[in-house]
Amino acid sequence: MTDLVAVKQRQQQTWAAGDFSVIATALYPTAEVLCDDVDFSSGQTVLDVACGSGNVAIAAARRHTAVTGIDYVPALLDRGRQRAAAEGLDIEFREADAEALPFEDGSFDVVLSAFGVMFAPNQEQAAAELLRVCRPGGRIGLANWTPGSAPADLFRLSAQFVATPPPPAAQPPIAWGTAGRLHELFGDQAAALRLHDRVWLARFDSAQHWVDTYRAYFGPVHAMFATLDERRAEEYAAGLADITHRFNRATDGTLAVANAYVTVVIDRA
């Protein structure tokens, strides 16, 4: 049986490595897309789960909603507070676990998560918590990487380099990017569930620029390099560069990595 508590502890350490806020800054356009697809109204209460440095929380607050963001990495919450203060946005950031949200049932009109809650070790528990804190008739909105995306290939590559791979029976985070898994997690309490295919282009000078940036700032890649000897690190870097080449859409010698994802809009029954 998988020790989900131990998995979560390792994840927390991994996402605290590097400085994910640097990566998240480039990801900000996906937060605007998610908020537009969910289509909520000014004045509503919004929860951003696994908010990181606050992309979705900020996008929601710009729409004049009452926003709370939660994450289990304090350093990222501090970045979110700094960003909100710089824009004069009133957002409450709290340290909390996506699998044990510290809110009463039905506390929020809208519950959102972009590339966050999908990494919760106990997927059923995390989905149940999103449903619990969303009021009946409210909406849940997610942005999740898809199984055929560049991030999915990154995770699969990384799995080849870890000392202890996850058990085969474990549902991978990328399953949140499929209609089948989403219906398993939310279908019983969803009046409607809609998926929208989206692509985010990550632009860099070159594959080496991408590898260097992710090695320095993206927690899972940063932590992986720290475990590898020189030979294995070179192999890992070559594999990462290959992924960027395969998904590159730029034709001018630079890099524009196409990252496929879905936005998910769930009408809470």
Distance of alpha carbon 50 from alpha carbon 143, whole angstroms: 12
Distance of alpha carbon 89 from alpha carbon 70, whole angstroms: 16
| pLDDT for the residue numbered 207 | 98
| pLDDT for the residue numbered 9 | 82
Fold of 4-146+167-201+261-268: Rossmann fold (3.40.50)
Q: Could you tell me the pTM of the whole model?
A: 0.95
Please give the chain's pLDDT, 269 residues, in tens.
556 777 778 888 888 888 999 999 999 999 999 999 999 999 999 999 999 999 999 999 999 999 999 999 999 999 999 999 999 999 999 999 999 999 999 999 999 999 999 999 999 999 999 999 999 999 999 999 999 999 999 999 999 999 776 666 578 999 999 999 999 999 999 999 999 999 999 999 999 999 999 999 999 999 999 999 999 999 999 999 999 999 999 999 999 999 999 999 999 99
In this structure, what DSSP letter does residue 97 have?
B
| pLDDT for the residue numbered 222 | 96
Domains of the chain, by residue range, sit at 4-146+167-201+261-268
Candidates 69, 59, 33; CA nearest to 260 is 33
| pLDDT for the residue numbered 118 | 97
What are 258's strand-pairing partners?
Answer: 201
| pLDDT for the residue numbered 2 | 58
- Check the CA dihedral 121-123-128-131 and report its sign: positive
- Check the CA dihedral 5-157-177-204 and report its sign: positive
| pLDDT for the residue numbered 92 | 98
User: Which ranges of 39-149 does DSSP label H, i.e. alpha helix?
Assistant: 55-61, 74-87, 123-133
